[in-house]
């Protein structure tokens, strides 16, 4: 008997979801904060150093410096700046959407120590003699832009001007910003066309006034900036740039458009596949995946997250991973239907039996994402943040949401006997009278004997790894500046670029390099690398020169050797901790042999990715580590689902007498999960290939790493990890004369949601 109330509840839920999502999506998208790589801007990591000999850098000193930088950024009018203190002696500044990056960087790094000196560079007055917050942008009697100041003691200013008058003909009061003892000299600077001092007015009489006017060759904007920086206060320390990256606005806009388009294509392919292959459950998965994307963006805006290019990739990958939970559940339901159970019983049993595999898979991926967040920097943290949110939200939508919606239809009775709605033909369904269990079902892969040919795959893997190691030893890794240090310049042009022409152009502007690579769909992007990390002045210079030639502001990133070494160390720590955490978790949830086999498979995948990158000469940067950790988390999903089925098949046997019986169990388990493995990796590949083919140029190496890792991970889960476990278990059987299997009581279960 059909329960119309549940059908009505299902339709009402769909209407509520649609009426909530459709009108609120655009406002949420407008609230999403874009990172530097999507709207342009720059990021600088400053090393805080003493300004004077003997000065100690304390936490309060660094905090005061961060506050001073915040005040200066307020002068720029930048919305939502990011200023973070790191390691108690570093400050990371991120400013997105800044149009004049050169002026902004100068404004941040200048000491803002104002001083008044005579022509012999003797200090007469400094910033301590000025009233705080009284600097103003103004105009003189000739309507020229000036900055006006107010002295604390007009009598002191009178005494100083009296002394200057007596020094004729050198009766100048020289005004300096950040005068450097032993380096700057008025007499030397006065001979230059662009002197380092602000101005040097002649003083012809004593001035007993508290009002001081600084004039010079200023623009209106420059007087506003100077007044603002003087009011913000001088920095109590010296700031040294040890890492910086700047992204031109055109690069950011193009990257956003291309990557979003690639993501839409990839996600659409997943939706089509799910609807065609799984029919009604697939359509419900499409609904919950749409809710998943909406919730991700909503949560991300609520926590004031900054969306970066890798963050978009994480969101799209999250869709592929979220669908994994649906596939595991739907495959289980189909198995229950095939043994002749009713739709209601199949739904309940499939939902319950799939829960532990879904939970274990999500926990291990979450572990890798958390490690990535802890050890990652800037855009990689954005990727990790999005991945963490994706995992948590996907658990809500794919596990609870999908079961709620499908459960309403199942318990309404409208699907009774309609196995075709679940993507099954009636020929594949056995009668309940035949007494089949799900573990007895035949599969499309029953001819495959994985265990008997395992040594061939061991040999193939060993040969590939040896060749990879040799190639790695010969070619080394093509390390990006993240790890090797140096400078990377990326040029975007409207026309096709030529390597020889770009190399000559760089030589003509005084920055020669032989390391120039042309890329892009129309060969309109040139990437030049330098072993030296450029100074702020060199960065500003090369950006001005290249923008004048090519019409677009280039991207320039610099990494000091110190930061490069730290990134290498953090990458090793991240991989080691993630691997250790996963092996401990798998060992606790299953057994130590499965944990060891899983980690060997993961090391196999990671090394395979590294070897391929070495052979193809692809650049290895910090996003490559993000890709490796993502694959570690994703590959373990496959392995866990396989081990979960092996454990289930083992529990049917009270005693295993020999290796042949164990081989039968392993083969059967692999055949039963192979369809699920193919489907899940296929859905993620849809997104990865779309990002690789249609996404921004800067994310393509990341996408290639993911594709290699996905294929290697699927291969190792089936043909390496499971086979290694078999060999270890085989030794145990040989040693003990058999294996007594104690059926484990499941610690977690899952009932379908009840409405």
> Is domain 36-108+236-247 classified as CATH 3.30.70.3400?
yes
State residue 233's pLDDT score: 60
Report which DSSP code applies to 529: E
Q: Write down the pLDDT at residue 112.
A: 65
- Is it the case that residue 744 has pLDDT exceeding 80? no
Strand partners for 43: 94, 245
pTM of the prediction? 0.73
pLDDT surpassing 60 at residue 748: no
Average pLDDT over the chain, rounded to an integer: 80
Answer CATH for 486-559 from 3.30.70, 3.40.50, 2.40.50, 3.30.1380: 3.30.70
Per-residue pLDDT, 153: 82
Distances (CA, A) of 461 to 468, 631, 715, 747: 10, 18, 10, 36
138: which strand partners? Answer: 146
pLDDT tops 60 at residue 326: yes
36-108+236-247 and 486-559: identical CATH topology: yes
Considering 94-98, 216-220, 285-289, the range whose residues carry the highest mean pLDDT is: 285-289
pLDDT in tens, 294-317: 988 888 888 777 777 777 777 776
Percent of the chain residues past pLDDT 70, beyond the cut: 92
Average pLDDT on 371-386 reads 73
Distance CA 638, CA 113 (A): 60
The answer to whether the CB of 310 falls within 8 A of the CB of 39 is no
Element housing 752 (H / E)? none
Domain boundaries, the chain: 36-108+236-247, 111-232, 249-421, 486-559
Cα 658 from Cα 135, distance rounded (Å) = 89
Q: Is the pLDDT of residue 232 over 70?
A: no
Q: Report which of 296, 307, 315, 266 is spatially closest to residue 397, judged by C-alpha positions.
A: 296
The Cα–Cα gap between 377 and 388 comes to 15
Q: Does domain 111-232 have CATH number 3.30.1360.200?
A: yes
Q: What is the structure's pLDDT at 752?
A: 33
Is residue 749 scored above 60 in pLDDT? no
pLDDT at 630 over 60: yes
Of 472, 512, 471, 460, nearest to 489 by C-alpha is 512
| Highest mean predicted confidence (pLDDT) among 180-184, 420-424, 439-443 | 420-424
Distance of CA 697 to the CA centre of its chain: 15
Burial, 243: exposed, middle or buried (Cβ in 10 Å; 0-12, 13-18, 19+)?
buried
pLDDT reading at 459 higher than 50: yes
CATH architecture of 249-421: Up-down Bundle (1.20)
CA distances from 686 to 195, 634, 698, 705, 733 (A): 59, 15, 19, 15, 42
């Amino acid at each position: 008997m059909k329960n119309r109330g549940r059908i009505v509840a299902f339709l009402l839920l769909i209407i509520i979801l649609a009426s909530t999502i459709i009108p609120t999506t655009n406002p949420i998208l407008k609230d999403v904060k874009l990172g530097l790589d999507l709207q342009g801007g720059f990021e600088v990591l400053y090393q805080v150093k003493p300004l004077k000999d003997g000065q100690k850098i304390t936490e309060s000193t660094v905090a005061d410096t961060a506050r001073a930088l915040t005040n200066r950024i307020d002068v720029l009018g930048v919305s939502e700046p990011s200023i973070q203190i790191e390691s108690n002696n570093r400050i990371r500044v991120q400013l997105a959407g800044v149009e004049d990056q050169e002026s902004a960087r100068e404004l941040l790094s200048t000491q803002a120590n104002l001083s008044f000196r005579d022509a012999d560079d003797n200090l007469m007055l400094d910033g301590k003699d000025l009233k705080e917050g009284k600097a103003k942008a103004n105009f003189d009697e000739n309507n020229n832009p000036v900055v006006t100041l107010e002295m604390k003691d007009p009598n002191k200013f009178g005494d100083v001007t009296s002394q200057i008058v007596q020094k004729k003909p050198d009766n100048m009061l020289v005004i300096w910003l950040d005068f450097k003892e032993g380096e700057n000299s008025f007499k030397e600077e006065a001979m230059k066309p662009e002197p380092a001092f602000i101005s040097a007015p002649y003083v012809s009489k004593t001035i007993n006034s508290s009002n001081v006017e600084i004039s010079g060759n200023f623009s209106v904007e420059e007087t506003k900036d100077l007044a603002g920086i003087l009011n913000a206060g001088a920095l109590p320390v010296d700031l040294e740039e040890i890492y910086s990256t700047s992204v031109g606005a055109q690069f950011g806009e193009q990257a956003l458009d291309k990557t979003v388009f690639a993501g839409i294509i990839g996600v659409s392919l997943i939706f089509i596949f799910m609807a065609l292959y799984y029919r009604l459950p697939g359509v419900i998965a499409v609904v919950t995946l749409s809710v998943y994307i909406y919730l991700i963006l909503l949560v991300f805006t609520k926590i004031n997250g900054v969306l970066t290019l890798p963050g978009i990739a994480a969101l799209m990958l999250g869709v592929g991973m979220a669908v994994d939970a649906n596939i595991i559940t739907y495959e289980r339901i189909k198995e229950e239907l095939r043994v002749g159970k009713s739709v209601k019983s199949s739904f309940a049993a499939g939902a319950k039996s799939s829960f532990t595999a879904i939970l274990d898979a999500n926990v291990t991926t979450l572990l890798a994402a958390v490690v990535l967040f802890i050890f990652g920097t800037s855009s990689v943290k954005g990727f990790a943040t999005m991945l963490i949110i994706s995992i948590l939200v996907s658990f809500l939508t794919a596990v609870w949401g999908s079961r709620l919606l499908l459960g309403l239809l199942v318990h309404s009775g409208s699907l009774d006997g309609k196995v075709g709605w679940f993507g099954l033909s009636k020929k594949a369904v056995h009668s309940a009278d035949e007494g089949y269990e799900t573990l007895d079902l035949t599969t499309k892969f029953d001819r495959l004997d994985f265990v008997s040919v395992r040594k061939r795959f061991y040999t193939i893997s060993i040969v590939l790894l040896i060749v990879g190691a040799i190639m790695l030893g010969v070619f080394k890794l093509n390390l990006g500046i993240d790890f090797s240090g140096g400078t990377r310049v990326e040029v975007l042009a409207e026309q096709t670029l030529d390597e020889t022409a770009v190399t000559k152009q760089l030589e003509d502007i005084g920055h020669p390099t032989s390391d120039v690579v042309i890329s892009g769909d129309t060969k309109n992007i040139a990437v030049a690398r330098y072993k030296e990390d450029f100074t702020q002045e060199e960065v500003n210079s090369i950006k001005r020169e290249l923008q004048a030639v090519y019409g677009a502001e280039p991207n320039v990133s610099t990494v000091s050797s110190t930061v490069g070494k730290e990134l290498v160390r953090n990458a090793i720590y991240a991989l080691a901790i993630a691997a250790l955490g996963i092996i401990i978790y798998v060992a606790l949830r299953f057994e130590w042999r499965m944990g060891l086999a899983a980690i060997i498979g993961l090391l196999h995948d990671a090394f395979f990715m590294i070897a391929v990158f070495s052979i193809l000469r692809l650049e290895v940067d910090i996003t490559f580590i993000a890709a490796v950790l993502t694959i570690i988390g994703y590959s373990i999903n496959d392995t866990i689902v396989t081990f979960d089925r092996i454990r289930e098949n083992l529990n049917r046997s009270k005693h295993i007498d020999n290796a042949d019986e164990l081989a039968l169990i392993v083969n059967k388990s692999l055949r039963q999960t192979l369809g699920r493995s193919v489907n899940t990796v296929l859905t993620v590949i849809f997104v990865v290939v779309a990002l690789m083919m249609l996404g921004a140029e800067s994310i393509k190496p990341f996408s290639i790493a993911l594709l290699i890792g996905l294929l290697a991970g699927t291969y190792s889960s089936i043909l390496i990890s499971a086979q290694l476990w078999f060999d270890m278990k085989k030794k145990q059987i040989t040693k003990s004369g058999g294996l007594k299997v104690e059926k484990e009581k499941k610690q977690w279960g899952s009932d379908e949601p009840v409405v």
